[in-house]
């Protein structure tokens, strides 16, 4: 604020704030305003609102206002009405932590500054009968400050801004100085401590002088008793060293055991993978031996059409793996279907229960051939001439009428047989041997 012509107007009647600012070399003019302090606000907002009210009530270019509010667990302690309320406030604050909010309001020709500073305060517990209480009394609105000790021969001194009673002892409230107490003065305490130290020193010297003639005899008496102690200490040290080494070795063994467990887990995982691969190869070999020698690939099933209109499977291999349209697809249990579309990395299989599927079939142990069509969701409908002998429980295998599949691949078992078209045809309802929903991989054969 250097270089300004107008003085700083202090919107407060507090002599302490006036003295602090004058000590800093600021020319001051006091203008304490009259404001209403009974506002229903939280303590922090109350301090800010009171400081703002005081500053706004005073006219001038450079105006400084301040207010301080004591906050006890969210309750703002206002100025007490009498000494009894002062004592009540002190008893509530004694031995408890509380907050002190100090708000400032500074208005200049170029700026307006409003700040609130909060300090955490803990008053020591009050002792009955051993402390002298000093009453503080507010002299006017906005007069901050604290309590100070009374002079000799005078009663309690009242200074502006004091809201509480304060007892002797060091104060943690900003601006508060402890009054005279009735405890032991610091000089007496220091003298008492020094006297106790000298007494203990003299007692030690006296005991040393009395026991000096007994030292040689005492040494001869205690020597046989203390002789085993060095050996015992050495053995104890060796045992501790051995125990420490055993503990380190145990830690090494634990780390090695953990490493072996991890290696074993890796080997078990590899073993499971190899077992699955062996099982897959065994299934492929079984298909090669029992169904057809022309095995092209073992392909994973990566998708299925469950719409109900078509029953088709999506394979995870395609043209780059040698798959082509028209290749039969089987499983160890029996026939699956026929590849109808091929992409670079995928292939689409029309299963035997698809409504567009046509398969030449024959009884495994009988003569005659027929045509089986897909009957979604999970059946086939086979038609035979009336001369073919077909009964429930018979196994149907692929035959040669359509020439799409190798001969002899199992298709399904007959569930029921009925005559159609006035006895000119036999219709057989067939359950496939392959459960399409459980397939994980299939075998692709060379087309005929």
CATH top-level class of 1-198? alpha beta
**Which residues are catalytically annotated?**
67
Domain boundaries, the chain: 1-198, 295-445
The Cα–Cα gap between 160 and 147 comes to 8
pLDDT at 225: 66
What are the CA-CA distances from residue 294 to residues 39, 327, 446 (Å)? 98, 10, 5
The answer for 142, left when phi > 0, alpha when psi is -120 to 50, beta otherwise, is left
pLDDT at 336: 95
pLDDT at 270: 86
pLDDT digits (tens, 9 = 90+) for 55-76: 899 998 899 999 988 998 888 8
Q: What residues in the chain have per-residue pLDDT under 70? A: 1-5, 126-187, 211-227, 283-293, 306-308, 401-402
Superfamily grouping for domain 295-445: Rod shape-determining protein MreC, domain 2 (2.40.10.350)
pLDDT at 151: 37
pLDDT at 183: 41
């Amino acid at each position: 604020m250097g270089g300004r012509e107008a003085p700083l107007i202090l919107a407060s009647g507090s002599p302490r704030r006036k003295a602090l600012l004058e000590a800093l070399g600021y020319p001051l003019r006091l203008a304490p305003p009259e404001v209403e302090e009974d506002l229903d606000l939280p303590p922090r907002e109350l301090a800010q609102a009171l400081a703002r009210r005081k500053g706004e009530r005073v006219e001038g270019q450079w105006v400084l206002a301040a207010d301080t509010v004591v906050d006890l667990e969210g309750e703002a302690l206002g100025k007490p009405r009498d000494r009894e309320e002062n004592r009540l406030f002190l008893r509530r604050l004694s031995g408890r932590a509380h907050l002190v909010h100090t708000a400032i309001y500074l208005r200049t020709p170029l700026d307006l500054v409003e700040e609130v500073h909060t300090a955490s305060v803990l008053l020591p517990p009050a002792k009955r009968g051993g402390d002298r209480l000093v009453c503080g009394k507010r002299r006017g609105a906005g007069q901050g400050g604290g309590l100070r000790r009374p002079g000799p021969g005078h009663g309690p001194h009242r200074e502006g801004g004091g809201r509480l009673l304060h007892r002797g002892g060091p104060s943690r409230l900003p601006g508060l100085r402890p009054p005279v107490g009735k405890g032991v003065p610091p000089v007496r305490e220091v003298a008492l401590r020094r006297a106790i130290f000298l007494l203990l020193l003299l007692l030690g010297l006296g005991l040393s002088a009395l026991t000096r003639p007994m030292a040689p005899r005492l040494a001869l008496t205690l020597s046989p008793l203390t002789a085993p102690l060095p050996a015992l200490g050495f053995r104890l040290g060796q045992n501790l060293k051995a125990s420490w080494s055993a503990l380190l070795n145990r830690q090494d063994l634990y780390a090695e055991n953990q490493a072996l467990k991890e290696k074993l887990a890796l080997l078990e995982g590899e073993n499971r993978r190899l077992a699955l691969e062996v099982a897959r190869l065994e299934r492929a070999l079984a298909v090669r031996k029992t169904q057809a020698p022309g095995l092209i690939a073992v392909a994973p099933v990566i998708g299925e059409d469950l719409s109900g209109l078509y029953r088709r499977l999506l394979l995870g291999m395609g043209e780059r793996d040698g798959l082509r349209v028209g290749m039969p697809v089987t499983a160890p249990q029996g026939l699956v279907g026929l590849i109808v579309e091929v992409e670079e990395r995928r292939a689409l299989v029309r299963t035997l229960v698809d409504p567009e599927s046509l398969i030449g079939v024959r009884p495994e142990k009988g003569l005659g051939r027929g045509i089986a069509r897909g009957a979604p969701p999970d059946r086939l409908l086979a038609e035979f001439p009336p001369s073919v002998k077909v009964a429930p429980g018979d196994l149907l295998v692929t035959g040669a009428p359509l020439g799409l599949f190798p001969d002899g691949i199992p298709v399904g078992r007959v569930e029921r047989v009925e005559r159609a078209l006035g006895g000119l045809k036999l219709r057989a309802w067939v359950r496939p041997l392959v459960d399409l929903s459980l397939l994980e991989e299939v075998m692709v054969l060379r087309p005929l």
